[in-house]
């Protein structure tokens, strides 16, 4: 059967997947975790992915999703859907964790609020 297409390597780099949080290394912003939001079918053909940064500044607002050790994060943080951005694929370095279906539902609700689409 081989490796599923969604997990094959892309030009020598590990292919990320939707709902995974990865360390991203950026020359200006440094190293920080990002959640991949791009739909799975589009990831192999795009050069940059829709991603949500994690921050240690937790504001407890509806456009954030707070994560912790139970989610596989090294420390408590918040995904800030107000700061959704495109991240070039070559900046994704190593996988931290994959969010549960329940957590991704929370992310989608926060995205709806952040974008005014809910």
pLDDT, one tens digit per residue, over 83-100 is: 999 999 999 999 999 999
Secondary structure letter of residue 83 according to DSSP:
G
The average confidence (pLDDT) of the chain is: 91
Per-residue model confidence as pLDDT tens digits over 49-88: 999 999 999 999 999 999 999 999 999 999 999 999 999 9
Entry pTM: 0.87
As a whole number of angstroms, the distance between CA 8 and CA 3 comes to: 6
Number of domains in the chain: 1
Q: Is residue 29 scored above 90 in pLDDT? A: no
Domain that holds residue 42: 5-115
What is the DSSP track for 31-52? EEEEEE-S-GGGGGG-SEEEEE
Q: Are the beta carbons of 21 and 95 closer than 8 angstroms?
A: yes
Q: Which two tokens stand for residue 111?
A: 């995205």
pLDDT of residue 11: 58
- CATH number of the structural domain spanning residue 101: 2.30.30.110
CA distance readout (Å), 115 to 25, 81, 85:
26, 9, 12
């Amino acid at each position: 059967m081989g490796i599923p297409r969604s997990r094959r390597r892309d030009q020598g780099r590990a292919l990320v997947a939707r709902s995974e949080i990865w360390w991203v290394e950026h020359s200006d912003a440094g190293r920080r975790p990002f959640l991949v939001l791009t739909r799975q079918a589009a990831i192999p053909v795009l050069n940059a992915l829709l991603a949500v940064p994690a921050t240690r500044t937790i504001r407890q607002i509806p456009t954030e999703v707070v994560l912790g050790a139970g989610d596989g994060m090294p420390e408590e943080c918040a995904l800030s859907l107000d700061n959704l951005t495109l991240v070039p694929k070559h900046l994704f370095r190593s996988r931290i964790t994959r969010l549960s279906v329940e957590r991704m539902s929370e992310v989608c609700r926060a995205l709806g609020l952040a974008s005014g689409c809910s």
